[in-house]
Structure 1
Amino acid sequence: MTEKGRIRAGIGGWTYKPWRGTFYPKGLRQADELDYAASRLGAIEINGTYYRLQKPESFAKWRDAAPDGFKFTIKASRYCTNRKDLRETGESIEKFLGQGIAELGDKLGPLFWQFMPTKKFDPEEFGAFLAMLPKKHAGIELRHALEVRHESFVCAEFVELARTHDAAIICAHSEKYPRIDDQTADFSYARLLGAREEIDTGYPESELDAWAATARTWCKGQRPDGPAYLAPDGPVPGRRDVYMFFINGAKVRAPAAAEALIARTAQ
């Protein structure tokens, strides 16, 4: 494992037609888009794994396209998270992990478990689900991040449960979903969904400055002043890895937003 304490900003996926000629240089081959994106950013979310299993050869190809230090976060299969009772998802978790993610090697970042907006917090159900998430797979350490979208999760009990299992609660910047700022793992994960197309960098300068300050504070193992936290802070982990992704909103602006954040947090 590399030493903790790095801030990585990135985007969701790398294939998006409006990025051609805006982020990707005109004339760049589609086959070279991942190489280009990985050379400019710190991380990319792989979202195709939510819809279908991928081939081990694909993970190996993506690994080889990215430079040292780069990370891919992987969105867990919908067959794992879109269930009436999460206690019945053990077999689906095994299938998701077994599709070939180990091929990413040290470029494997956190696994990202997204739940439907209709999924409510049930302490027993979620406790059982989190207990099923393995800490290692094929000799590789796994980190888990949780994106919850129902207001019932906005409570100290959920924060403490996630902290017990060393799972990060994703901090979502969105008008549609609740935001939880409590840090519950030895890494931080944010998804920023508020980009605006009329702004070249998606977010105004002042907001990018604020998110950069938040990232630096998280990276130090601290928590920023200001947010309304749900539970007392947990044990200080030392330095944290930080992942910040610009997702949805004005998607065409996502790469520029990520690059603007990288410039602000250069270490």
Structure 2
Amino acid sequence: MSIHVGIGGWTFEPWRGTFYPPKHPQKRELEYAGQHLTGIEINGTYYGSQKPETFASWAAAVPDGFQFSVKASRFATNRKILADGAGSIEKFLTQGLTRLGDRLGPILWQFMATKKFERDDFAAFLDLLPETQDGLPLRHALEVRHESFRDTAFIDLARERNMAIVFADSDEFPCIDEQTADFTYARLQRSQEEVETGYDDKMLDAWAKQARDWAQGDRDVYLFFISGAKIRNPAAAQAMIVKLAE
């Protein structure tokens, strides 16, 4: 059983002095995050490409067992016809992200809330996502944000390809609770600023139980505290790691 718990990114000014100790060197923030969390969702890759050496330096900054998920380029997912995105997908996958090595977790393909489910186009897009890159196996997580995806055809497409449908606990977007892959990817988006750990103890217990349930049968779980009261997300992730160790 492997449950990775973390946050989105690691560079956020309000975390300095709350998550990171006062006067902690900014260039060592990822190293600190790697010592206190077990996963991070890289969001910068959604907006632009990174250098291979950058991915390698990120991998070197975190300990064995730590996992990064990588958000795919918006140029691949934010388009009218998804099947036309082959070039953008290739550019994203060949930028050097495999330099993360065994720290590479799932790739997160996030779609706009206005993107509706069109079976044939979506199937063609999924067929563009390779199972491996540079000899490394790839895992794909699909975060859809339109109600039209509550469709057995979409669920079947994901299951046939061993791709996870993201469990999005949010007030804004639909939550599709279906296990379609050999791993689970959850994004928890309800942290509250007035709660020191983002979620109260009762809710943390409930999510820890859910994570253990998802992990049954040797399924890997990726649990990220995203959005909500962002300043509290590191504390929420740390509290969850403690709960899972009990």
TM-score by length of 2: 0.98
Q: Which residue does 1:263 correspond to in 2?
A: 242
Length, aligned pairs only? 246
For residue 227 of structure 2, the aligned residue among 225, 235, 248 is 248
Pairing 1:135–2:131 present: yes
Pairing 1:122–2:118 present: yes
Q: Which residue does 1:157 correspond to in 2?
A: 153
User: Structure 2 counterpart of 1:21, which letter?
Assistant: G
Q: Which residue does 1:219 correspond to in 2?
A: 215
Q: Which residue does 1:27 correspond to in 2?
A: 23
Secondary structure at the counterpart of residue 132 of structure 1: coil
Q: Which residue does 1:111 correspond to in 2?
A: 107
Q: Which residue does 1:231 correspond to in 2?
A: none
Q: Which residue does 1:239 correspond to in 2?
A: 218
How far residue 86 of structure 1 moved from its aligned partner, in angstroms, is 0.5
Secondary structure at the counterpart of residue 127 of structure 2: helix
TM-score by length of 1: 0.91
Runs of 4+ with deviation above 6 angstroms: none
Pairing 1:180–2:159 present: no
How far residue 204 of structure 1 moved from its aligned partner, in angstroms, is 1.7
User: Structure 1 counterpart of 2:227, which letter?
Assistant: N
How far residue 209 of structure 1 moved from its aligned partner, in angstroms, is 1.0
How far residue 154 of structure 1 moved from its aligned partner, in angstroms, is 1.2
RMSD: 0.8
Pairing 1:38–2:34 present: yes
How far residue 161 of structure 1 moved from its aligned partner, in angstroms, is 1.1
Pairing 1:189–2:185 present: yes
Residues 54-93 of structure 1 aligned to structure 2 (within 5 Å): 54-93=50-89
Gap runs ≥5 in structure 2: none
- CA–CA distance in structure 2, aligned partners of residues 83 and 20 of structure 1: 36
Q: Which residue does 1:233 correspond to in 2?
A: none
How far residue 265 of structure 1 moved from its aligned partner, in angstroms, is 1.1
- CA–CA distance in structure 1, aligned partners of residues 56 and 92 of structure 2: 16
For residue 100 of structure 1, the aligned residue among 80, 91, 96 is 96
Secondary structure at the counterpart of residue 98 of structure 2: helix
User: Structure 2 counterpart of 1:31, which letter?
Assistant: K
For residue 14 of structure 1, the aligned residue among 2, 10, 15 is 10
User: Structure 1 counterpart of 2:73, which letter?
Assistant: S
